[in-house]
Amino acid sequence: MSPRVRFAPSPTGFFSLGNARTALFNWLFAKHEGGKFLLRIEDTDKERSKKEYEESILEGLKWLGLDWDEKVERQSERIPIYEKYLKRLMDEGRAYFCFCSGEELESERQAQLSQGLQPKYGGRCRNISKEEAFKRAEKENHVIRFKMPSHTVSFSDLIRGKVSFDLDLIGDIIIAKGFDSPLYNFAVVVDDEEMKITHVIRGEDHISNTPKQIAIQEALGFSMPIYAHLPLILGPDRKKLSKRYMDASLRDFKDRGYLPEAFFNFMLLLGWHPSVDKEVVSAEEAINDFSFKKVQKGGAVFNQEKLEWLNAYYLRNLPVERLAEELSGFVPGEWLEDEDKFKKIVQIERERLRHLTDFRDTADFFFVLKEYPADLLIWKGSSKSVMVDNLSFLSNVIRGIPNHELWSRENIDKYIMSVADQKGRGEVLWPLRVALSGKEASPGPSDILYVLGKEESLKRVEKALKRLASEN
């Protein structure tokens, strides 16, 4: 039977790094096995679930290229299904109404805690007769509790091996606030069964929910899926990513200029390792190579530096067209008027970028030459008069470079370098480069010349000459 896995986020916050990683591993496993990857929105918490969060999740998955099979399921649209099973548990005496107040429960909890016991519901309402319970339920506040058995359950985790829990320590958990409002641990079990989920792949923070879910499965006569609990992604403090730290929306990473390819690759390496030792792994390779055997057990600290490095790597290795397209969202509209020019700039500047957002400030001089101090034109240890001589000479050389098809990067470089080798590289290349870019750091002069064209380049050289002259 081909596997069916699901990514089941709750829309109570923006799509986060942790969410994304869980989705990624589900997706990889499904693709690797030729199975289905389903998306289920767990919006049973009516107060905290918001439409914009759901949109954020969908948007994030699309950005990363994690496409799902079948339609988006929402728990809020499946209420009758849960009701059916809830009634069945009630009928069979495996669940019951509980009328205890919050204060009662809290004081019980505190008492147990002070005795060093694991807090657990004592079962006060467990023995109220069914008739009485239904009668009281008509006017009293109540919830539905599951009668937790007291045996030991265990499951074989694909990542961790055998894990066992003593159900006796757990107590009767609340599985619904009413027939029309199921709670997480119950809804998950019902959905996974109804949706024929074969593998539950989720974060390690769910390990302790697993025995509760298994107990409910047993009560309902469902089969147990295979579990795989992924290690958590940690902040620099080695704690689960906090809401305010990296747990920000994936959208923020996009806005800060990260490429989806880089981000995908980065998450992949957080807890998983390819069978051959390498850092750059494409989605396709990851699918082919994926295995839970290579998934790490311990939590992984989010390493910003490595993400930066991967992003820079993809920035300089993606096809130019693709990169230009990504970059186009981060620059003023005028830059895109001459598509050919834009692509040339992208090609030249790409190796200097770490984020898409860097492009705007590094490439601006191709469009507008900013003011710069005349001193910047003077190569270290050299003099103004030499700079003036060299720039004047260069001006003539540039004028003499043939236009059209001979105005090529290679040909320009030939002309410039012959001057540079004659008169000294620093004395020639530095002032030319500054004249053309107005910057302390930039690509080489031949590259800039190539993009700017003869006319604009000559104008900038003249400007530099004037600037040097007016300094006296």
Partner RNA sequence: GGCCUUAUCGUCUAACGGCUAGGACGGCGCCCUUUCACGGCGUAAAUCCGGGUUCGAUUCCCGGUAAGGCUACCA
DSSP letter at 184 equals H
Quick one: which of 128, 224, 287, 300 contacts RNA (CB under 7 A)?
300
Residue 303 sits in the site that holds RNA (CB under 7 A): yes
Stretch that binds RNA, among 65-73, 162-170, 247-255, 323-331 (CB under 7 A): 162-170
Nearer to RNA by Cβ, of 297 and 339: the residue is 297
Eight-state DSSP code of residue 381: T
First to last CA, the chain: 85
Chain residues 238-277 in contact with RNA, contact rule CB under 7 A: 238-240, 269-271, 273, 277
Q: Which of 65, 134, 135, 141 binds RNA (CB under 7 A)?
A: 141
The DSSP H or E segment spanning 4 is strand 4-7
Query: If you write DSSP's letter for every residue of 125-142 in order, what string do you get?
Result: GGGS-HHHHHHHHHHS--
Would you say 131 or 277 has its CB closer to RNA? 277
Q: Which stretch binds RNA (CB under 7 A): 30-38, 62-70, 305-313, 461-469?
A: 305-313
Out of 234, 318, 394, 435, name the contact with RNA by CB under 7 A. 234
Q: Which of 79, 137, 207, 386 binds RNA (CB under 7 A)?
A: 207
Nearer to RNA, 35 or 231 (CB): 231
Closest contact distance (angstroms) between CB of 16 and RNA is 12
Residues 401 and 446 sit within 8 Å (Cβ to Cβ): no
Where does 350-408 have alpha helices with state H? 359-363, 384-400
Taking CB under 7 A as the rule, does residue 101 contact RNA? yes
Chain positions 6 to 45 lying near RNA, rule: CB under 7 A, are: 8-10, 12, 42, 44-45
Q: Is 221 in the site for RNA (CB under 7 A)?
A: no
Taking the complex as a whole, how short is the minimal distance between the CB of residue 389 and RNA, in angstroms? 17
Per the annotation, the verdict on 243 as an active-site residue is yes
Site for RNA in 379-438 (CB under 7 A): 379, 420, 425-426, 429-430, 433
CA dihedral over 94, 95, 100, 101, signed as positive or negative? positive
How distant is the alpha carbon of residue 281 from its chain centre?
A: 16
Residues 274 and 281: beta-carbon distance below 8 Å: yes
CB atoms within 10 A of CB 273: 16
Site string for RNA, 328-357 (x = CB under 7 A): -----------------------xx-----
Nearest to 210 by CA among 271, 251, 158, 254: 158
Catalytic residue, chosen from 84, 130, 243, 459, is 243
Which residues inside 57-96 make contact with RNA, applying CB under 7 A?
Answer: none
Residues 6+ apart with CB under 8 A from 23: 7, 9, 61, 64, 66
Residue 46, both tokens:
């009516």
CA–CA gap between residue 54 and residue 48 (Å, rounded): 11
3-state secondary structure of 269: helix
Q: Which is nearer to RNA, 140 or 339 (CB)?
A: 140
> In whole angstroms, how close is the CB of 379 to RNA at the nearest point?
7
Residues noted as catalytic: 243
